[in-house]
Amino acid sequence: MIKCMLLCVSVGFATGRLGYLQELASFSSTVIIVCLCLMTLIASIEMGKKDFLKELKQAGWKLIVYSFATIAGTLIMVWLVSPLLPLTAKDALVAASGMGWYSLATGLVFEYSPSLSVVTFVYCLLREITAMFLIPILWKRFQPPELISIAGSAAMNPSVAAAAITGDHRLVFYGMVSGGIVSVCVPIMVPFMIAL
């Protein structure tokens, strides 16, 4: 899957670089927004079908607090390290607020700054991939809430993979609920950060 995604970006990049499909530039913004709206709709229907609301009720307030702490931790840490980056603190926060949802966040950030969308794409993709490896490695020393927080909004996939490796099925539940809550916040947070 990740190979296919990188292939799509690379082929698109190569065609743009070589000057093919120039006419795409005139309506690419519309294509991006339409794709993002439809993808958000499908993703949220999936969340509704997977009893997200029921699971949210069962999860209790602590898991909801952990999900918001995941967002706060990312934003605070990125804000703290932003002076070390050749970006403004706002731009660093815009990229960080993608939280791992590469398709949506990259598209939203692209409208604001194409170069920052590269940062967002790399950041989001790495968050998911790294979580897949780190969660099973850290599993014996730490508990599911903090392990799942590594993945941000992309917690569902890494948590299923980690549960298969470790046999700890609490990870799937935490991943579903925490990933869901963080995902709901991403489409609101990215435009909010851009508007700051």
Partner 1 sequence: MLMVVFGVIMIVGILAGARLSWIPRESRFRKNVQYALLFTLLFVLGHQLGSDDAVAASISQMGFIGIFIAAAGMSGSFLMVLLLRTRFEKERKGPADD
Least Å distance, CB 30 to partner 1, is: 10
| Of residues 128-167, those binding partner 1 (CB under 8 A) | 130-131, 134, 142-143, 145-147, 149-150, 152
Question: Of residues 2, 24, 137, 164, which one binds partner 1 by CB under 8 A?
Answer: 24
Least Å distance, CB 181 to partner 1, is: 11
Q: With binding defined as CB under 8 A, does residue 64 bind partner 1?
A: no
Question: Of residues 2, 58, 115, 169, which one binds partner 1 by CB under 8 A?
Answer: 115
| Of residues 93-112, those binding partner 1 (CB under 8 A) | 95-96, 99, 103-104, 106-108, 110
Length of the chain: 196
Least Å distance, CB 167 to partner 1, is: 21
Question: Of residues 2, 53, 137, 164, which one binds partner 1 by CB under 8 A?
Answer: 53
Question: Of residues 2, 58, 77, 88, which one binds partner 1 by CB under 8 A?
Answer: 77
